[in-house]
Chain A
Amino acid sequence: MDTFVLMLAIPLVSGMLLTVVGEREWAPNLNIVASLGTFLSSALLTGEIIADGPRMAFGEMFFIDSLNVFLVTLTAFVGLTTSIFSGPYMKNEQEHGRLTKGRMRLYKSMFQLFMFTMLAALTTNNLGILWVAMEAATLTTVLLVSLYRTPASLEAAWKYFILCGVGIAQALFGTILLYFAAERVLGETGNALLWTRLVDVKGQLEPTVMALAFIFLLVGYGTKVGLAPLHNWLPDAHAEGPTPVSAVLSGLLLNVALYAILRCKVLADGALPGGFAGNLMMGFGLLTLVMAAFFLSRQKDIKRMFAYSSIEHMGLITFAFGMGGVVANFAGLLHMTMHSLTKSAIFFAVGHATQKTGTQIMENIRGLLRINPVIGWGLMLGTLAILGMPPFGVFASEFMILTHAMKHHPWATPVLLLALGVAFASIFGRVQSMVFGETHAKRLPHAPAITPVFLHLAIVLALGLYIPPYLTRWFHEAAKMIG
C-alpha cells in the first residue's frame, strides 16, 4: 500500500475507531500504535521523497515536496511523542476525576482526527482543501480545548472557535480572491486552486488581486498562527485545554497555519515582486514578538506563559520568513522545527508539573527538582532551550535569524534583541523559582512518561551542535522553494 495513503488513512481510521472503543483499557496503546504507524509511514514517505523527489497523490489533489515532507515528519513525530505522553497523563486526569470515560474516548478520537487534519493540510495541493483542513483542525481542537467542560475551558473554547472561525473565514475570502486571480490565467477548470499549477503561473497573477488576497490570507491564517493583535484566543486555549492538546497546538497547529501562509506567500511573491508579502510578514512578526515579550512578564499561569512564548516564537519565525532568501527561510524552518520540539517538550514537563502540584498558578509551584528531578530538569532545560541558550538548537536558528537581520534589516535587530531580552527575563525568573526551592507535593498514581521530554530535548541539543548534511540539504531545498 502506498505509504502516503497509509499515512493519511491511519489517523483517520484509528480516529473513527477510537470514537467507538476509546474508553477501553488498551485504547491509549491503540492511540500510540496508530501514531507510531503514522510516524513510520511518514518516515518512509520522507525516504521516498528524498530518493525520488516530489510526488503527487490522488491525481493532483495531494502533493509532497521537500517543504512539506519535513513538516509532515515533524508533525507525525510530535504526534507520536504526545500520544506516548498523554497515556499516563490522561489516566491521571481521569483518576483525579477531571474527566469521564466518554471524554477520554472523545479525547483520543479527536486527537487522531486532529492529526489527520494536520497531515491533510500539510500535504494537500489544493488551497481550498487546505482551508477545509484548517477549519477541520479548528473544529477538532475546539472539542479538545473544551474537554474539561469547566467554565474556563468553555470560555476558552468559545473564544477559540469564534476568533479562529472568523479568522479562517477571512482566509476563505482570500482563497476566493486567489481563485479569482488564478481563474483568469488558468481558466475555469478545477485546477485553479492547485498550488503546483499556480506556482507555474505565479508571475502572471493579477497583482492588485493578489495583494488583497494575501492580506486576507495573512489575517486569516495569521489568526491561527497567533500573530498579534489576532492572537487573543491562543493563551486561553493553551491554558485551559489538557496539556497534550497545548503541546500539539503549540507544536503543530501554529506551524501548519504558518505553512499555509508560506504557500500563499510564494504565490504572492511571484505576483508582487516588490517584497510586499515579506514586508507585511516582517511587520507582523516584529509586532508579535515585541507584544508577546511584554505580555510574558505579567503571567501567572504557567501554560499561559508558555503560550505567549509560542506567540513570541511564531513572531520570530514569521519575521524570518518575511525577510526571505534562502538563509532566512532556512533559519525559519529550523526555528520552526526547534520550537515545535522544544515547546512540546516543555508542555510535557509542564503537564507533569501541574499534575504533581495540582495547580497551574506559578506562585504555587515550587521545588520541582525535589518533587521529581527529571521533571524539574526537563522543565529547566526546556525553558533554557526555548529562551535560546546554546548549545540547544533554538540558539542556532535564532543566531541565523539575528545575523541575517543584522545584515539586511539592521533597524530590526535592536527590536528583536529587546524582545528576546525581555522574554528571557520574564520566563526565566518564573521557571527558576518553580524548579528550585522547597515543596510539599504528593506522589502521583501513574509514573509520568518522561521519555518524550528528553527525546525532544536530546534532538534539540544534538541539532544545536550538529545539523546532519542530509537535513541541511533538505532544509536548503525547502528554503529555496519558499524563495
Chain B
Amino acid sequence: MSSVPLSAQLINLFASVILLMAFAMLAQRRVLPLINLFAIQGAVLAASTGVVAVTTHQAHLYWSAGLTLALKALLLPWILHRLVRRLNVKWDVESLINIPTTMIVGIVLVVVAFNVALPISQLSSTISRGTLGIALASVMLAFLMMITRSKAIPQVVGFLAMENGLFLAATSATYGMPMVVELGIALDVLVGAIILGVFFFQIREQFDSLDIRHLERLKDS
C-alpha cells in the first residue's frame, strides 16, 4: 500500500463510496432517502473529481468538480425534493423484484463489471486503476435499479445515478474529457432533468399517479 500515493488512495476510496451508494440506492425503499443517497453520491463524485484536479493540475477539472457539486449534489436533489413535495409522492418505493434478489444480482453484476474492466485497468497509466471497474459497476447497478423500480421518480434517480457512474469513469479513470464535452454533458443532464420534471406533472395529470405500470398500454402482444 505504501507505494500507492495518497491521491490514488483517496480516489479509490471515493470510488468505493460511490459504489456503496449505488448499492444503498438499490436497497433503499423510500423516496426521500433515495434522493439523499443520490445527493451524497454526487458530492463524493465531486470530491473525487476535485482530488483528480489537485493531483493533475488540470484547470478544467476544477470546473468539473464544481459543476458536479452544484448540479448533482445540490441542484438536482433540490429539484427532486421539490417535486416529491409538490406531487406529494412520499410513498414507499415499490420494487418489481424483491430487494434481496436485487442485491444478489447486483453483486453478480459487480463481478461481471470488474472482470470486463480488468484488462483495461491493467493498461491504465493513471493513478486510479480500479476506478473504471467501479464506474462500470455503478453504471450497471443504476441500470438494474431502473429495471426494478416501478415508479417514475426512482427510475429517474436511477438514470441520474447512471450519469454519476459515467462521470466517475470520465474524470477519475481518464482524468477528464475535454471541457466542451463536459459542459455539454452537464447541460444535457440539466435540461433532461427539467424536462423530466415537466413530465412528472403531465403524467400525474393524465394518470393520477406516477406509477409507470400505467404506462404499459402501447404494446403489440
Q: Which residues of A contact B (CB under 8 A)?
A: 61, 126, 128-129, 131-132, 135-136, 139, 142-143, 146, 149-152, 154-159, 161-162, 165-166, 169-170, 172-173, 175-177, 179-180, 183-184, 188, 190, 192-193, 206, 208-209, 212, 235-236, 239-240, 295, 298-299, 304
Q: B48: shortest Cβ distance to chain A, in Å? A: 15
* A161 CB contacts on chain B under 8 angstroms: 192, 195-196, 199
Q: A432: shortest Cβ distance to chain B, in Å? A: 21
Q: Which residues of B contact A (CB under 8 A)?
A: 58, 116, 119-120, 123-125, 132, 136, 139, 143, 146, 152, 155, 159, 162-163, 166, 169-170, 173-175, 177-181, 184-185, 187-188, 191-192, 195-196, 199, 202-203, 206-207, 212, 214-218, 220
* B170 CB contacts on chain A under 8 angstroms: 172, 176, 179
A155-B217, A179-B174, A295-B220 are known; give 16 further A-B pairs, CB within 8 A. A126-B178, A126-B180, A132-B187, A155-B216, A158-B215, A162-B155, A169-B163, A170-B139, A173-B166, A177-B120, A188-B58, A188-B175, A212-B116, A239-B218, A298-B220, A304-B220
Q: Which of A139, A158, A172, A173 is the one whose CB lies under 8 Å from B191?
A: A139
Residue ID in chain B nearest A133 by CB atoms: B184
Bound-complex Cα distance A209 to B118 (A) = 10
Q: Which of B173, B180, B192 is the one whose CB lies under 8 Å from A180?
A: B173
* A298 CB contacts on chain B under 8 angstroms: 220
Known: A161-B196, A165-B192, A298-B220. A206 touches B181 (CB 8 A): no
Do B166 and A142 have beta carbons less than 8 Å apart?
no
Do A158 and B199 have beta carbons less than 8 Å apart?
yes
Do A176 and B185 have beta carbons less than 8 Å apart?
no
Do A166 and B159 have beta carbons less than 8 Å apart?
yes
Q: Which of B119, B174, B218 is the one whose CB lies under 8 Å from A240?
A: B218
Bound-complex Cα distance A240 to B143 (A) = 26
Bound-complex Cα distance A458 to B132 (A) = 52
Known: A126-B178, A180-B120, A295-B220. A173 touches B203 (CB 8 A): no
Bound-complex Cα distance A237 to B72 (A) = 29
Q: A78: shortest Cβ distance to chain B, in Å? A: 24
* B195 CB contacts on chain A under 8 angstroms: 139, 142-143, 161
Q: A470: shortest Cβ distance to chain B, in Å? A: 35
Bound-complex Cα distance A149 to B205 (A) = 10
Do B120 and A176 have beta carbons less than 8 Å apart?
no
Q: Which 8 A-B pairs have the closest CB atoms?
A: A128-B181, A132-B184, A155-B215, A190-B178, A135-B188, A236-B218, A151-B206, A180-B174
Q: Which of A131, A142, A152 is the one whose CB lies under 8 Å from B217?
A: A152
Do A208 and B119 have beta carbons less than 8 Å apart?
yes
Do A206 and B123 have beta carbons less than 8 Å apart?
yes
